[in-house]
Structures are given as C-alpha cells and as structure tokens.
Structure 1
Amino acid sequence: MTSLFNNYARRPLSILKGQGTVVEDDAGNSYLDFTSGIAVTNLGHSHPAIIDVLQRQSEKLWHISNLFESPEQEKLAAALVSDSPLSHVFFCNSGAEANEAAIKLARKHTGKNTVITCEQSFHGRTFGAMSATGQEKIKQGFGPLLESFRHVPFNQTEALEEAVDENVAAIMIEVIQGEGGVHVLDKGFAEKIQSICSDKDLLLIIDEVQTGISRTGSRYAFEQFGLQPDIVTLAKGLGNGFPIGAMLGSVQLFDSFGPGTHGTTFGGNALAVSVAQKVTELAFDPSFIQEVNEKGSYLQDLLFPLLKSGSVKEIRGRGLLLGIEMTDEASPIVQQAEKAGLLLVPAGSHVIRLLPPLTVSKEELAEAAAILKKLILSKVSMDS
C-alpha cells in the first residue's frame, strides 16, 4: 500500500544513481537516460562541477528571505539576460510558477486580460498555467477554468490574426512544443507573431521551460527564429535537477512588477542560485553550444534511415530535443527500449521524444540509435 497519491503513471523501475548519461536501478541494471528528467539534467547526472558548488554553498548559506539584497541573484540574472532583449529577472521554483508570473505581469502591465496561446501547448498544471495550456486532457475534472485564454492552431497565421482584438494583452508560445509532440515553429508563423505584437502593441511571451539552457542548440530557442520576446520563462535545465525557475522581462516591464505585486518564499534561494550560476557558465559557453548542434545533427543522421521503414512519419526538432513521429502508438517502443537499456519519454500518443543530456557522447548517441533502429525495424518486419 503506497502513501503516495496515484497522479503519476509510474513505471515499475526505481533509479538509484546516475553518472553522466547512464543511470542504474535498484537491481543493478544500467540504462542510457534519454529523458534527462524530461529536459532537466542537461549537463548529465552527478556533474562534478555542480556537486562542488552545491557542497561549498551548503556550508555557507541555504536560504535567506527575498526581503534582503542578493548579490548572487544579481550575478545570475545578469548572465541570463546578457546579449538578449531582456533586462530583468524574477526567480521562482518551477516552470509553472514562471509562467504564472509571466501571465500576471502581462495582464498588469497592459491592463488587458486575454492571452493567446496555441493548441497542443503545455505551460504547466497550476490553475493559470493549466488554463493557458492547449490540451484538454490535462483540464478534465477541474471545473471551470480561467476564461481569459484563446487557443489557436499552431503554425496557422489566419487563425492567429482572427483571435486578436482590443482585449488581448499578449501572445504566449513555445517555439518548439515539447509535450505537444515536438512541433517546431514555422518561419512564417514566427514572422506573423512578431509583426502582430509590434503592430498591435502586444507582449510576446515565450515559454522556454523545456527548450532553454542550450537544449536546442542555442542559449534560448527563440534566438533561432528571429523573435524579440518581452518575457521569457525558464526552469528545467536551469538547475540541472535542483529546483529553480525564472521569468525574464524587458526593461519596459520593470515598473509593473514593483514591491508587493508578486513574490515567492523559496525562489532564488542560495543553493539554487549557486547551481544555476555554474549551469549557465558551462551551458552558455559557445563551444559547448556548438557541440550540442553537432551532436543533434549526428543523431538525426543516425536516425534518418528510419524514415524509409514505413513506421516513422517524421523526425523533427532542434539540437538535442528531437521527436520521432510513429504511424502507430509510441508507447510499445518506449517500453521495449527500456528493456533494452534505453530510457525514453513519449510526447503525445505517437511521438517518441529524445532528450539526452547535452553532455552525451557520440558513442552513446550511436548506441541509442542502434537500439531504436533494431526495435522499430523489427516491428516493421513483424507487421509485414
């Protein structure tokens, strides 16, 4: 009898330890972890530099109220907004909290209530973030949600234009929908979003909770799409497993988030900030980002033959956030891969999502690709 609520469809697997890309369960079995805690451990498990900074910080200070000055928060904030359209940062504990802050800030700054988001988007499970999310399956059973969100089809410019009126405060998007199936923003849709925000004086909010911190081959995924966001939200990879989230905003928004408008008890505490400083130092290094791009291209090349199998419709994504869309449901392949020593996570019913640590070796990429090819091609053989 468990003492835990049953809100997770847990796999019967208990992971006890990890190093780099490899994790080990309680029976001593090893696995290539191509989930990274769902795009969290971008620098791999038990990274020695991160362990070192966390241990050193734990001996100095764990927590102090945000009522006091924080030079270390200032240092991390400066690293996050450097060479970007953003200038100020609010620290919190998770992606959902960052998105809640973004929604509040957009409404307060503009004095308007409506936010446009996309169908199949995922922005979190708190009440506001759940209302923003464009997936009905996560909303079932919770009664009336916030009515101030309009969901438009992803990559459809005409629907976006029709959704804009005088009540709209912001457009909120993921440039790559992670949970929604690893769908990538079209160039034309990106251009239309930017032009509407500029012409109609709307705020542009980009949810980079899954795509940020070099996951897609740039510091932030929006940098690849010619977008100029007013607000960007981060979490997941920012702490490499230590809970931290952040909302980045442009200078025009500074006065709209004054004392008393928003807050958090634990956000930006000393332990989290020390870890995130080291993460950004390592993950934002240009040579590291170049390696992520090279590894992403290498993995796509390895997987390309699957497109000829008849079981794979498309391989898409950027950097080391890739999705393999199957003609049939993805869950059987995910389950079989686990038995073969490869941990994967789906994105919807038909997409296998690949999220290895950004520190993954090419040898590990090749090993994972070989497992996938064997499983998918053997399925094709059995079906025929």
Structure 2
Amino acid sequence: MTIYRISARRTPLFTDRSPALALTAVWALTRAGMLLLLWRDTLGIGGLGREVYLLYRHWHQLLSQGTFPPGDATWQYPPGAGLAILAPGLVPGLTYYQAFVALTLLADAVITFALARAGASGAWLWVIGLPLLLHLPLARYDVQVTALAVLALLALRAGRSRVGGALAGIGAMVKVWPLLTLIGTPRGHLTRRAWAWATVAAGALFTVLALGYAHPLDFARQQGGRGVQIESLGGTALSLARLAGWWPGEVRYRYGAFELTGPYATGVAHFALLLTGLAFCWLLLWRVRSWQWSAATPLDAALTAVLLFTVTSRVISPQYMVWLLGLAAVCLTCRETSQRQVALLMLPAAALSSLAYPVLYEEVITVTPVGVAVVALRNGLLLAATLLSCRRLWASTVPGPPSLKGL
C-alpha cells in the first residue's frame, strides 16, 4: 500500500505587498541588465543573438512555407518546437528578433508569477539565478519550454493532474525533457490520468503539425548523428586527456556545436548513451521501490530525472541550466522538498556555465587549461548535485535502508 504524505501548505508571496514589490524590482533590474548585454552582444565570444536573427528566422521562413527544415543538421527538435519558432512572426509591430525576445521575457514573467504564488523561495531562486546565465536565456527558446514544465509541476502539486499532464505532453513535443515532470506522480489514478492527458495532448499536437507541415520527423535523424560536445562530461574527459598529451583528437564544428573528434570519441559517445540508459533504469527502480509520497515528491523527482539525463548526455549546452534552474525553483516552493541543497547548487553551476560560455568560450574550444578547468568545475558540480539529488530522493521516498540509499 502506498503511503501518501501530501501537504498543500504554501508560503504565498502576495500576502504582503513589500516582498512582491521587492521581487518585481529585482526582476525588472536584472532583466534590464540582461537586455543591455543582449543589445551589445559583445561579451566573450559574442554574437549570441545570431541564433535568433539568423537561424531561428531562417527556420521561421521555412515553416511559413509549410515545411520543417529538411536535411538541416542544426534542426534537432521535436515538431512542437515549430510553435516557438513561428510565434514571434505573429507579433505585430516588432521585428522577428524583437518579438522573440519579448515573448521570452513574457515567459520568464509567467514563471516568476507562478512561482511567487506558490512560494517565495522558489521565485527568488529563479529571479536571481537566471541572470547568472547573462543574456543567453533571451536568445534561446528554453525559457518558454521551462515555463511549460514549471506550470505542469505546479498544476500537479495542486492536484490538477489533467492540466499538468497536458502541459507536460505539449512540452515534450517542444523539447522532450518536460515529459520527465511526470516521473514522480503518485501511483494510482493520478498517474494514469496525468499520463493519459500527456499522451492525448502530445498526440493531438503532433497530428496537427504533421498534417500541416512536411518532414515533421526529420529532427530524429539529425539528433542521432551527434557526437561528444566539448561541454559534456565525456568532452571534459577527452579535453583533459588532450591536455595531458594522451589523446590526439581535435575540436570540430558539427551539428550546430563544437564536438571533440578523434580516436575513442565514438566510444565515449556510446558510453554516454549507455549511462543515459542506466539512469533511466535507476529511475524505474526508484519508482518501483518508493512508497512514501509527499507533496514535494513529484517536484523532487523531476529535478533528479533531468539532472540524470543532463549529466549523462553527449551534449550539455549552457541553456540546459535554464531547465535546471526552473525545476530547482519549483522544488523550493514546497517545504517538504528533499532537494534544497541541490537547488542551491544550481546557482554556482549557472555562474560557471556563463563563464564557460560566452565569456571564456574561445579558451574552451581551443582546449586551454583555463577553458578546460572552468568546464570541468561546472561539470563536477553538476555530477555532485546529481548524486546528492538521487540520494536525497531515495532517502525521502523509499522506506528502510536499501542498498542504493548510500549513492
């Protein structure tokens, strides 16, 4: 019999106007700073905005003609991503670039408002944490995807499994990982209902896009060909080996990212896929062994799952930190969370990510000691956070002293 320890206690921000005004002021000031950095766009390697006004706008033109990018190595996203690419073109009076940034800020504001209503600590972590990534979040559509995941988790926490499931399903059609927000739903009808609505929402969206646009599944072929990105854990291992003179490989620009190529690189990529499979198996084992649920369990499990799939990925792009900050912030809206320390570790990890990209990215891609050290520190912090997250999740949900409790 499953033991539920559900508590709907909240620490709402809007019972007192002063904290709300302080949060709003900090949000406005930090986002103004991010806009200024994006307007200048010269920090470090520079040119972060090119992704929007060149690549995204190119994709928008193709989608406007009724086709997903065919044979494009940089298009590696599910068909729902087309909605995020098309949306800026629907905003009147603004250029595509301006509209994209405006919609990103709107999604950021929605996340902040939703978190503030659920709990002040989570809202503050998001508001303070996102600017640590400098202006990168404004030039990628990951904030929009994170909004879907955050709203899905908050809906699940409030007992609205249909809404949470539907949002998770739509998010999965945009960038896959939001489906992991359902990994910690309580057993029984809540899980069945959430997954059913996720399936219906994802299926309906895919059907509409498949009927309206050509090449909806072309992304899968491009994603499968990716190698070891220089910022991944595997990339760090190869970079350290190159610095030590043990590995003769080099860095090449492939599939829209800088990858390490040479002897053993393919093996490292395959090993990363194996680790991802093992991470999935661990999540299934946790799901089977866990019997003690609280209001925080779905939130904690989502952060743990995304951390596992991030650190075992062949690719750890800096925008992945947007996802982790959003999920960490949701965890902090619940007093019962087991992930408080893990959530706080996302702040230095985000700062190190922005130091690696864009500030010192030339050092990273030329595999200098400074560049490798920064990425290694970030990845080491993420790995430590992942192991701690797994241990805390297991300890808070699995009764007794299981053998995996000491992870």
Please tell me the TM-score bracket, short chain as reference.
Answer: 0.3 to 0.5
What TM-score does the superposition give when structure 2 sets the normalisation length?
0.31
What TM-score does the superposition give when structure 1 sets the normalisation length?
0.33
